[in-house]
C-alpha cells in the first residue's frame, strides 16, 4: 500500500484547552510527582485533599494507591468509594468522570487524547470518558476517549475499549467485544 501524503509535523495544530493557569499547571506537575506518581505510600486522605485543592471533585472513601499519574485534576470527578490501583494513568486532557464504587485496577489507562491520522496536520483530538457506578476496569486495560462504560460493566485485563460498554456486560479483547453478562450475587 502506497501513501500519497506524509504527516507534516511542521504544520501540526493542537486544540487542547488546558483550563488552568501556567502557575497552576506547574504547581500540579510537582504535586503529582511528589504525592501521586511516587511509589511510596502516601495516605489516600492526603491525595483526596490535594486533588480537591487543584479543582477535582472527589467523593468520600476514595482510595488512591501509589504510582498513579493524573494529568489535570481540574478535569476529574470521582464518586464515593472508588478505588484507583497502582500504576493507573488518567491522561485526562478532556473530562473524566468516575462514578461510585468504580475499580481501576493496576496499570490501567484512561486516555482522552488522540490524533486525526487522516489529516496531514495530524490534528489533536480529545473526547471525555465516563465510567458509571460499579464499573471495573481490570489490570492493564485501556479506555479511549469518547467511551462511556455503563453501570457495572467490566473491561477485562489487557483489553481496549474505544466504544461504549453496555451495563452489566463483560468485555474482552482489542477491540473489546462483549463476552457475557455480569451477574452479581
pLDDT in tens, the chain (185 residues): 555 677 676 776 666 789 999 999 999 999 999 999 999 989 999 999 999 999 999 999 999 999 999 999 999 999 999 999 999 999 999 999 999 999 999 999 999 998 888 877 778 889 999 999 999 999 999 999 999 999 999 999 999 998 999 999 999 999 999 999 999 98
pLDDT at 3: 58
Domain range annotation of the chain: 9-181
Query: What residues form DSSP beta bridges with 76?
Result: 96
pLDDT at 14: 67
Distance, in Å, from the CA atom of 29 to the CA atom of 47, rounded to the nearest integer, reads 14
Distance, in Å, from the CA atom of 22 to the CA atom of 43, rounded to the nearest integer, reads 27
Of 13, 17, 19, nearest to 116 by C-alpha is: 13
Of 125, 115, 130, 121, nearest to 161 by C-alpha is: 130
Distance, in Å, from the CA atom of 166 to the CA atom of 153, rounded to the nearest integer, reads 6
Region of 39 (left: φ > 0; alpha: ψ -120 to 50; beta: rest) is alpha
Distance, in Å, from the CA atom of 65 to the CA atom of 143, rounded to the nearest integer, reads 19
Distances from the Cα of 16 to the Cα of 51, 65, 105, 115, 120, angstroms: 21, 28, 28, 11, 18
- The answer to whether 169 touches 178, Cβ cutoff 8 Å, is yes
- The answer to whether 165 touches 181, Cβ cutoff 8 Å, is no
Distance, in Å, from the CA atom of 92 to the CA atom of 167, rounded to the nearest integer, reads 23
Tell me the CATH architecture of domain 9-181: 3 Solenoid (2.160)
Amino acid at each position: 500500500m502506497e501513501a500519497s501524503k506524509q504527516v507534516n509535523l511542521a504544520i501540526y495544530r493542537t486544540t487542547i484547552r488546558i483550563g488552568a493557569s501556567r502557575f497552576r499547571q506547574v504547581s500540579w506537575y510537582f504535586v503529582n510527582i511528589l504525592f501521586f506518581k511516587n511509589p511510596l505510600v502516601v495516605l489516600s486522605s492526603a491525595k483526596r485533599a490535594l486533588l480537591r485543592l487543584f479543582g477535582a471533585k472527589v467523593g468520600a472513601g476514595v482510595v488512591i494507591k501509589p504510582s498513579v499519574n493524573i494529568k489535570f485534576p481540574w478535569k476529574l470527578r470521582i464518586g464515593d468509594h472508588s478505588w484507583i490501583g497502582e500504576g493507573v494513568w488518567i491522561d485526562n486532557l478532556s473530562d473524566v468522570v468516575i462514578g461510585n464504587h468504580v475499580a481501576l485496577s493496576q496499570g490501567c489507562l484512561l486516555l482522552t487524547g488522540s490524533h486525526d491520522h487522516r489529516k496531514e496536520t495530524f490534528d489533536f483530538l480529545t473526547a471525555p470518558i465516563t465510567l458509571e457506578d460499579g464499573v471495573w476496569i481490570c489490570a492493564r486495560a485501556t479506555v479511549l476517549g469518547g467511551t462511556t462504560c455503563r453501570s457495572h460493566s467490566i473491561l477485562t485485563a489487557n483489553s481496549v475499549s474505544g466504544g461504549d460498554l453496555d451495563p452489566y456486560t463483560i468485555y474482552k479483547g482489542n477491540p473489546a467485544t462483549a463476552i457475557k453478562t455480569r451477574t452479581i450475587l
